[in-house]
Amino acid sequence: MEILNGKELSEKIKNDIKLEVEQLKAEHKIVPHLAAVLVGDNPASQSYVRNKVRSCEKVGFESTLIRKDESITEEELLDIIQDLNDNDGVDGFIVQLPLPAHIDEQKVTLAISPEKDVDGFHPINFGRMTQGLDCFLPATPYGILKMLEEYQIKTEGQNCVVVGRSNIVGTPMSILLSRKGYPGNATVTLTHSRTRDLSSILKTADIIIAAIGIPNFISSDMTKEGAVIVDVGINRVEDASRKHGYRLVGDVDFDSYMDKSGYITPVPGGVGPMTVTALLLNTLKSAKLKI
Give the residue, chosen from 21, 38, 80, 95, that forms a contact with ligand GUN under the rule CB under 6 A. Answer: 95
Residue 159's DSSP bridge partners are 187
Is 27 strand, coil or helix?
helix
Binding status of residue 231 toward ligand GUN by CB under 6 A? no
How many whole angstroms separate alpha carbon 3 and alpha carbon 250? 14
Nearest residue to ligand GUN, by Cβ distance, number only: 97
List the catalytic residue out of 14, 96, 158, 251: 96
Q: How near is the Cβ of 289 to ligand GUN at its closest, in Å?
A: 21
Site for ligand GUN in 102-161 (CB under 6 A): 119, 139-140
List the catalytic residue out of 91, 117, 119, 206: 119
Asked if 134 is an active-site residue, the reply is no
- Provide the total of helices (H) and of strands (E) in the chain, helices listed first: 9, 11
Is 218 strand, coil or helix?
strand
Cβ closest to ligand GUN, residue 101 vs residue 240: 101
- Asked if residue 104 lies in contact with residue 98, where contact means CB atoms within 8 angstroms, the answer is no
Residue 159 CB-density burial (10 A; 0-12 exposed, 13-18 middle, 19+ buried): middle
Among the listed ranges 61-69, 94-102, 123-131, 235-243, the one in contact with ligand GUN (CB under 6 A) is 94-102
- Asked if residue 34 lies in contact with residue 283, where contact means CB atoms within 8 angstroms, the answer is yes
Binding status of residue 277 toward ligand GUN by CB under 6 A? no
How many whole angstroms separate alpha carbon 105 and alpha carbon 102? 9
Binding status of residue 206 toward ligand GUN by CB under 6 A? no
Asked if 69 is an active-site residue, the reply is no
Binding status of residue 281 toward ligand GUN by CB under 6 A? no
What DSSP designation does 174 have? H
Q: How near is the Cβ of 17 to ligand GUN at its closest, in Å?
A: 18
Omega within 30 of 0 (cis) for the link into 268? yes
> How many residues touch ligand GUN (CB under 6 A)?
9
Binding status of residue 229 toward ligand GUN by CB under 6 A? no
CA torsion angle 209 214 215 220 (round to 10) = -50
Cβ closest to ligand GUN, residue 39 vs residue 287: 39
Binding status of residue 34 toward ligand GUN by CB under 6 A? no
User: Which positions are catalytic?
Assistant: 52, 96, 119
Q: What residue ranges bind ligand GUN (CB under 6 A)? A: 94-97, 119, 139-140, 168, 275
